[in-house]
């Protein structure tokens, strides 16, 4: 048992270190290829390190320390998400376009792998609340990162897509009813998956801005409906239980 835990601990340490180092490598490579002043480059690398570092720390806080195949997929998504954050920093200071192929190139696999980590967890029978939370938070921050350049280039409403989950969390601090567990909803799952796909499509430079505006606006409407349904369900359950 002790040997097994030691091996699991070693794997977790290696995987988390690889996550942070991979993010440093990708961030440095991106800023060197893109150019910009040293201050912008430093900011890009540092901002890109935030998500992978937080993801790695969430693994290291586990007791006992362990990492699953699904976690490795999510950590890889963390590195890709960090690279997206670096690119967004460069785009906000006009080193790169707001909608660019580099952003699309990193965002596309990050969104695609969202479907992979859950599948791996179920396939290997390693699904866990901790892994689910890491997956969900990585999803949420990726949407937030992608919505920032689109808010400047397509329309400010796109920020609503990235901020929706955080607004719900803020509301749950004020309304205990919103902290209850929600039952599975296929509609919620489809809407959530649609957000990333729409944002990735919208960052492609070849997509006309009006088309990107319609796509992101439609996605936001669906997201509002989804969150609205969940809020009504939770409030109704709280009223019936009181």
Taking CA atoms, 103 is separated from 88, 106, 154, 171, 240, in Å, by 8, 5, 15, 31, 47
Residues 6+ apart with CB under 8 A from 235: 175, 177, 178
**What confidence score (pLDDT) does residue 240 get?**
77
Phi/psi at 166 (5° precision): -70, -30
| Residue 117, both tokens | 């980590």
**What confidence score (pLDDT) does residue 115 get?**
84
In tens, the pLDDT along 166-212 reads 999 999 999 999 999 888 899 999 999 999 999 999 999 999 999 99
Confirm if 87 and 100 have CB atoms less than 8 A apart.
yes
Please, is 70 exposed, middle or buried when counting C-beta atoms within 10 Å of its C-beta (0-12, 13-18, 19+)?
buried
Identify the residue whose tokens are 């009223």. 239
Collapsing DSSP states into helix, strand and coil, what is residue 150?
A: helix
Q: Of all residues in the chain, what percent carry a pLDDT higher than 70?
A: 98
Confirm if 32 and 20 have CB atoms less than 8 A apart.
no
Taking CA atoms, 157 is separated from 62, 139, 151, 219, in Å, by 37, 19, 7, 11
The closest of 133, 161, 143 to 107, measured between CA atoms, is 143
| Residue 106, both tokens | 């990193």
CA 233 to centroid of chain Cα atoms: 25
CA 231 to centroid of chain Cα atoms: 22
| Residue 138, both tokens | 């990585």
Residues 6+ apart with CB under 8 A from 164: 223, 224, 227
Confirm if 74 and 131 have CB atoms less than 8 A apart.
yes
In tens, the pLDDT along 118-161 reads 788 788 877 788 888 899 999 999 999 999 999 999 999 999 99
In tens, the pLDDT along 14-52 reads 999 999 999 999 999 999 999 889 999 999 999 999 999
């Amino acid at each position: 048992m002790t040997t097994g835990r030691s091996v699991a601990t070693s794997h977790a340490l290696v995987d988390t270190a690889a996550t942070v180092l991979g993010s440093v490598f990708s961030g440095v490579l991106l800023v060197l290829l893109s150019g910009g002043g040293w201050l912008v480059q430093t900011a890009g690398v540092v901002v890109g390190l935030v998500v992978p570092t937080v993801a790695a720390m969430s693994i290291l806080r586990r007791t006992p320390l362990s990492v699953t195949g699904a976690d490795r997929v999510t950590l890889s998504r963390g590195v890709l998400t960090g690279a997206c954050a670096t690119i967004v920093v460069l785009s906000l200071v006009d080193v790169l376009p707001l909608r660019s192929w580099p952003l699309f190139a990193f965002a596309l696999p990050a969104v695609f792998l969202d479907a992979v980590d859950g599948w791996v967890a179920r396939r290997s029978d390693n699904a866990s609340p901790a892994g689910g939370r890491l997956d969900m938070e990585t999803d949420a921050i990726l949407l937030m990162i992608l919505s920032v350049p689109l808010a400047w280039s397509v329309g400010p409403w796109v920020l609503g897509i990235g901020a929706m989950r955080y607004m719900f969390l803020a509301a749950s601090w004020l309304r205990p009813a919103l902290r209850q567990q929600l039952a599975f909803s296929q509609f919620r799952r489809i809407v959530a998956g649609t957000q990333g796909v729409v944002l990735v499509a919208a960052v492609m430079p070849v997509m006309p801005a009006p088309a990107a505006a319609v796509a992101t606006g439609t996605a936001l409407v669906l997201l509002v409906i989804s969150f609205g349904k969940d809020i009504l369900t939770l409030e109704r359950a709280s009223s019936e239980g009181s």
